[in-house]
Structure 1
Amino acid sequence: MRQQLIGMISNWRNLIFLLAYSATLSVAQDILGCGGFLKSHADIDFTKVHVRLYTKAGSLKDQTECAPNSGYYFLPLYDKGEYTLRVDPPRGWSFDPTEVTLNVDGVTDDCSQGKDINFTFKGFGITGRVISLGTNSGPKGVTISLYADSDKHVPIRSTVTAEGGIFYFTPIQPGKYMLVASHSIWIIKKSKVEVIVQEGNTELADGSLVISGYDNGFAEKCETKPIAKDFESEKSLCHVTSDNSGRFIFPSLSPGDYKLVPHYAGAQTKFDVQPPELSFKVGHNSMILAQDFKVTGFTVGGLVRTSTNGDPLPGAKIFLSQKEIAVTDKNGKYVLDNMKAGQYTLRAESANVQFSEKTVKISPTSPELPVFVPSAYKVSGKVTLSAKGTLHFRKLSVQNTAATFYKELNTDEKTGEYSVYLAPDKYQLSVIVSTEEKTKGLQFYPLQQMIDVTSQSITDVNFLQLKATLTGTVNCLPRTDCSQASVTLKILDGVTIKTMQAKDGQYQFTDVLPGHYEILIDNDVFCWENPSYRISITSERAEVPAFKQTGFSITFISSHDTAVEYFEPNNTKLITLPLSKGSTRHCVPKSGAYTFVPKGCHVYEKSSYIWDTSNLSPILLHSTEHTHRGNIICTTAQNNLKVKIEDASDSVTIGPLKPIRKDNEYKYEFEFKAKTENMYTITPLSDILLFNPPSLKIFGVNDCHNDIASFVGDLGKVRK
């Protein structure tokens, strides 16, 4: 129905045109002019189309709009000559023809003969632009295919973008279409867009079709994370790997400025490439770098360790053909740059160790350098004589345990010091003493020393012929005089050599032979942070760490296990101190008077004991009277149950007792103080209960007792 209706409207327009044209001829027979119709199968606004008449020179002679309903136009001509009649529609509208050349002579041409010069509407246009990512322009050479909505497999037509990425399709009939952008190499981020053509030109919005990047080499992908830790600071966008011929490609680069950094790193090798970096700019097209990268050498690395399986050795100097070229880092690694393939002598140097020189072949295919490990380690010490002014020149012998190595060393005659480099092994060192010297009593300590050379230098392998002086200090708490405490020197795990009293917080032992000792300080009166120290005498003078007082020592002598409570001076916190039977030593941190209150089941001679830090006497806790407990079991609750406790001199009645119910029984507990070895008669009392046993005789024990007597009570029967 729509097609028929359009056809009818079109015929009606032709009819109007014929009528109008006939009227024109009849009214103005002698006026020359050119006229005709705009013809269209679609409903368009004819008033938007202008028809212009140009002279042969290209000057505009006249122009007119087309009739809104019929598309009719007419341009009068007052002069004969050559003209161009041109249709000027809105942008994107397509007509055929777009212009007609006329030679108006008044007789033979179409205008003179009154013939219609018609322009047929072919369709609207689609215009757009393919842009590069991040820009408002794009490349030429991108293929744009136009598909109808009804068939998205075969394109209606195709075109290629011009400079700036611009393209257009015309004529296009109204309808729904799909535009697809493609390129054989470039990566297109947005390649498809749907377009609806209605009345007028359809212009795509920028960003509808976007190219994400251009290539400049050969590769399938571009990794986007750094390839090595030393490249993290560069914040690289991505990286690719060159092929066997050295060619590479970054397949997708957006327009912009870039820096290219070559890098190769194997397990130990890295190629030196020039230039070290190359800056370039990507526009709207693929590019090939004008400058090549050239390999000028290669870099190899090595490692130095303290031993075969030891730690890395930092700060070691590396010599290549007798020339220092590198120093190991904190990880023991070193790098040789810009190397050429060949054979070299390689050597390492470091303090207190020695290395053997190595001959190495260096090439890119065998890049790993051998790990450097010291061949010998420095062993040093000193031989000291006690006689003043004596030259210290002596000889030492060094022998390994397998007896395959022996060497004699000379000490420095002024200092007695010596040093030697020894390969890893176990060795015995001793000072050489002649038979005559031994007869005169010359002896060095120790007689010999065993050392194990493994992965580091060994120092202070010393030998002494002297009598040392041993000093130390005693540090007291403020406002306390502990400076005269007794200090004892004894051989470690052996006999006591000497005990002396410190003076003004200082003590000194003289004429001490080399050896291992223990120094102790008296702790009967004061408490110390460390009451003893172990020390080795290996030099002419030795100092013991200071004895630091931490408090005052108090001794308790108790006849039984018990506890006491007390407060420190100027402190409200109650402290409970458990005491074992016998002697217990305890430290209090402050000077002053302390009051100790015994707690527990024992009865002592005093309810409290006062002790002062100025009084060194122990506290004696002696008890001969202790708490004894018993119980009565009944099946019923009683309100007036009592117990009578009798001894030879006294009688005490306890009660009424309170029951504790457990299951179906009632338990009545009682307690009393009993003196050791005293006999007591315990008799339960009740008006209605009979007890089994009626009473018990017990002897007081020398401790507290929780079950000294037990009774069972039953209701009695009344007989008349």
Structure 2
Amino acid sequence: MLQFLILFLICFSYGKTQQNSDVIGCGGFIKSETDINYKVVRIQLITKDGIPIYTTEAAPINGYYMIPVYEHGEYILKLLPPSGWSFEPSQFELNIDGETDSCTLNHDLNFVFKGFGLAGRVISAGSTSGIGGGPAGVTLTLYQDDKKLNETKSKADGTNLKQNSEFTLDLQKEKTKWIGSFWAKNNEQYSIFPLSDIWLFEPDHNIITTSSDNCQSNQVKFLARRGLFINGSTHPPVADANVSLYTISTENEHEQSIDIDGQTMTLLLSSWTNSDGTYSFGPLSNTRPYHVTIRKLGHVFTRKTSSLYDFNSEKLASILVQIKDVDGVFLLLTSSTNNMRRRTATTDSTGEVLFEDLQSGNYYLRPQLREYKFQPEDAQIELKSGDEIITKFQAERIAYSCYGQITSINNEPEFGLIVDAIGIDHCESVTRESAKTDINGQFRLRALEPGCRYRLQYRSNPSDSTQTEILEIEPKNKIIEVSDRDLYDIHLYTIKRPTDVDINVFVETQTQFINQLKIKLYKSSQRESPIQTVTLTNSPFAYFNQLPFDNESYFLRLESPLSTSVYTYIQPEIIFTANQTFLFFTFNFEPRLRIYDGETGLTGSYSAFIIALLIIILVFKYETILPFLRSSYGYSREILLPNIVRTSSSLLSSTQTNEQTVKVSSSTSSLNTMGTKTVTNTNNDNLGLTNDSKRRPRVAD
């Protein structure tokens, strides 16, 4: 930093001193975005005639320079950089007048560094030292990051070196080699690709990184080899024919490939023949095999036996077939003189068909269409190279068609159904005609003879499972009569097997119960889970999804969330079989409020209360009650129970005696009654005595 300040002050003082003595100082800077050696850059002041006046070097620290001018006049301030260095501008033209010029006004004259140059040479194969000269017309292309920067090309007269502001640069011939250079910045990487119309290069490209310290490291060398050229032609000449060059496949070549004598070859290059039928490929490597093919529409090419790359050409012929007033005619074209496979075509609404690309030879052409006969029936045609033949046929209608449609009852088209037209009456011997419906359900029965009556009949197609649902076609045995025109608008309908069952349910009940009802559909074999459940809303009608028409047993159940302690009702069920397309059922739901019995309820409450009270006493006073219960149990078992048994026996015997007494003395009812009561009282006394007598031993004990 100190050196820079000292140098700047010295230069500034020097300029001021000289300016005071009519010496003008012209100065400025060498500027660069990259690090360069400023010391190797020289600045020279010359006259318009090229006479050097003063030469100096730039300051090594910051690139500053200063040149004194002692006399007014026109000068050129020129930069002298090392070879391969590029600056803008390369010079300044000055008119020193001591008043308005840049030097007098102390304006800096700066030179901006743009980049370094690349130098290389191309030498012929076998002469690595360059002896014998290098090839002319070689193009070198400079790339950076796959972007094309510049090109250079050698010329026989060795023209000047052009700057990198142009896309094409030329090599200069220097003794036995061709050299050229590019301008580039320091430490940048470039790819150089040499190209030539007659030479091949090794390597095919070079990658270098420029260096300002050593320009020798920027040199690139390519070895040139004279390439192989493939030249061919067509006879007679055919212009604008596509020529394809194939070679043994490599990883970097096009994927399009062909098989040549059992060897796979890929497309390398493609070109077109010139107006004189010639073509050329090159330069090519002479270490690989090549194969050429030629194609052009309307022509055929055969390789000459004397040359691999010359071809005999033949313009192909064509046949235009014309059949008026009829379309859909099938045409068959065959040849007996060449290896052409048979070709077929069908006429359109124009009644014309063009057979193109036909080689010379003899051909046989025949038109075919049911309901028509043609004049002539066929044609024998002899073709020569380039012939354009027109062949005409006359068509005559001899039969007619029946156009119709088959749909379902709801007008959905039926696809793939077969309809037969069977002749009846005097036309029973005619051929049965058949047709198949298209995607729109439409059909066309062809070749129906005029004057005949036909019965239209449906024929099932066993291979089509969807047709098993069709039972029949309506109307059955539709009769049509053919005259001298086609029949239209024949409409047939299919009757299908039922596949689904619709179920509707109506619930007859009071309005307040509707929103609480559900109807569940079960399969009889699966009563655990319902198939469908419908909840009624504001309507007493319920609609179920369709069931399959499977003749299976199902049942419907009406369910209600009403409490059975408040209402009494029945949840009805209906069992049915799915064997009809539509089923309608009605449920009657009549819930009733339960009637509350106050006395019964009160008695039950008292009984429950007493039982609960006894249980509580038993739990808390079991120590007192337990001995009493044991004593009672013993008394009941030993005394009370036997007395009850004897009393029951006595009562039974007394009842039998009374019955006999009643039978004997039935004349006087009052007497019988007194007798009965007596018997009953006596018995009771006896029971009392008996009981007392049985107690006494117990008391004595």
Whether TM exceeds 0.5 here: the answer is no
Structure index of larger Rg: 2
Which is strand-richer, 1 or 2?
Answer: 1
TM-score scaled by length of structure 1:
0.28
| Higher fraction of helix | 2
